[in-house]
Homo-oligomer: A and B are copies of this chain.
């Protein structure tokens, strides 16, 4: 079984997003839907056959540090080797880099299949993909010649090494030092924290991308430089040589993502940690941020994948599990009904469906914007895509982290006591998903990023593009009688959101930044709800148009899309006006709270 619903994927990719049109661009001219469907099929098969079977075992047997070696259960290497052999590391990389040059949207669907199957195990190759992407964008020609091909080939893996004990959310407080060694390289020394995949024996080498400070660096984020630090020094012939002075000092024991090594990581304990500068001095964070949008969409997609897996599992259970009778049935000797017949179970399933299919649409929409930016010739189209992507990125990361976690909570509830036990995967998915609010920028930081930076950038140009996109959907959807209710409500809420956004931007311009940002997280969640309501309307519009001529099986599918849209607009979007009212009055209840009052 595919981890995701293949019919839903086909709908989102080809009926809603029109990913097929990418085949008409020069970049993807050698590909078509058949190419992509074959790749998706291969990903689903591999995920189901090689990754899903040991997800529970990996969760129960987390990595161990034995004699300074990180030991994983052997299934991880077998699965990761198969992933590498199938070429998935290079899925979205250019042909010239040794990749398949697939649309990023297609690569993201593959990623969702793998993450739904075993998010902890695929962390190793996906972090490698992110690191290789970083290198491709900011590395020198020489660095790329040396490191990129083995990474894309999956022989060498990669990591991102940012946080330190005193510098988590506040990355500008990184203290790790890098001193020139007089031979064009640098000696690094520092203590890092929360380093994912910091060590393992899955690959011949590990290439760490490390934020550190040069001796003359100014304080703060403008004094961070990026360094490439291999686990094994690389010989002149490109083979891995002696061990570099990097060491895992301890493993973090987490609630979820247990199979993904996460470590306290020391550089230069013996003064011999050698690295190369990547990009210009003091511009390390800018380089890293170049890749952040895509990494954040990946986190959001991971949250969706976990939610989606839980939805599918709880749906299957609800269809099979007999328990109780309907309210009208008074005969206790009558057979029990499958629990999917109970209204509250339908509600728990519909809430999940709306969250996970809405979240998937959101993330694939953003992935598609990446592809448009890469492939479409028209510069105006590319610029519009870039603006939208920049605005929607905090939403793509944060909204699924919140609402697909909630979906996992509902999935547990459907299974009752069984959902709460480790014999079923629901509680693991729920534990895994709790991380997504935290890594790659906390929920609160994304709220501040959205409201304090992205919303007002370029005079609010991105928000205007978003308003236009929403207006286009509303206009097109209004021809369907059944959708008018949603069109009107969304139009109203969007107008209020625009008004609130103006007020909060004005407050910031007037210098009341702290007050304007005091409820930024609530703004983030409310904004996300409006965006997802829009994307549900878009799905409903396509479904309503296709329904009259559809085959029987498709009719049920489209009816489900319409019902989920109805649910999201009536049960979820309706929550937003109250949140906007709170934001509009710049409520200072939280801000005014004094430490001593708690």
Contact = CB atoms under 8 A, between A and B. Distances in A.
Nearest to A514: B327
A514 B329 CA distance: 11
Given A347-B519, A578-B574, A336 B556 contact: no
A435 B420 contact: yes
Contacts of A452: 327
A594 B555 CA distance: 12
A581 interface: yes
Given A169-B323, A347-B519, A581 B574 contact: yes
Per assembly, the copies of the chain total: 2
Chain A interface main SS type: helix
Contact of A168 (B353, B417, B575, B581): B417
Given A413-B438, A578-B577, A347 B556 contact: no
Contacts of A221: 332
A137 interface: no
Nearest to A348: B444
Interface string A213-225: 0000011111100
Nearest to A172: B332
A589 B560 contact: no
Nearest to A447: B344
Nearest to A351: B590
A427 interface: yes
Contacts of A560: 596-598
B590 A350 contact: yes
Contact of A343 (B326, B417, B518): B518
A581 B574 CA distance: 10
A26 interface: no
A517 B421 contact: no
With a 10 A CB-CB cut-off, give which of A344, A442, A577 has the most chain B CB atoms: A344
A102 interface: no
A278 B439 CA distance: 55
A595 interface: yes
B559 A417 contact: no
A514 B443 CA distance: 39
A516 to B, nearest CB: 9
Nearest to A338: B595
B422 A336 contact: no
B574 A252 contact: no
A598 B349 contact: yes
A315 interface: yes
Contact of A422 (B255, B517, B582): B255
Nearest to A521: B344
Nearest to A409: B434
Given A168-B323, A170-B336, A591-B346, A422 B254 contact: yes
Given A219-B333, A253-B421, A593 B563 contact: yes
Interface string A390-433: 00000000000000000001001100110111110001001100
A208 interface: no
Contact of A594 (B194, B437, B559): B559
Interface stretch (A47-55, A228-236, A301-309, A564-572): A564-572
A576 to B, nearest CB: 9
Nearest to A562: B597
A240 interface: no
A49 to B, nearest CB: 26
A145 interface: no
A587 interface: yes
A497 B334 CA distance: 36
A513 B423 contact: no
Contacts of A581: 574
B169 A350 contact: no
A141 interface: no
A520 interface: yes
Contacts of A322: 166
Contacts of A222: 332
B420 A589 contact: no
A417 B434 contact: no
Interface string A168-197: 111011000000000000000000011000
A597 B559 contact: yes
A566 B325 CA distance: 43
A458 interface: no
Interface in A149-181: 163, 166, 168-170, 172-173
A242 interface: no
A472 interface: no
A281 interface: no
Given A166-B336, A344-B521, A350-B590, 20 more contacts: A166-B323, A169-B323, A219-B332, A255-B430, A327-B517, A342-B444, A344-B520, A346-B593, A353-B598, A412-B434, A413-B437, A413-B444, A420-B434, A420-B438, A560-B597, A570-B582, A571-B589, A574-B578, A574-B581, A574-B582
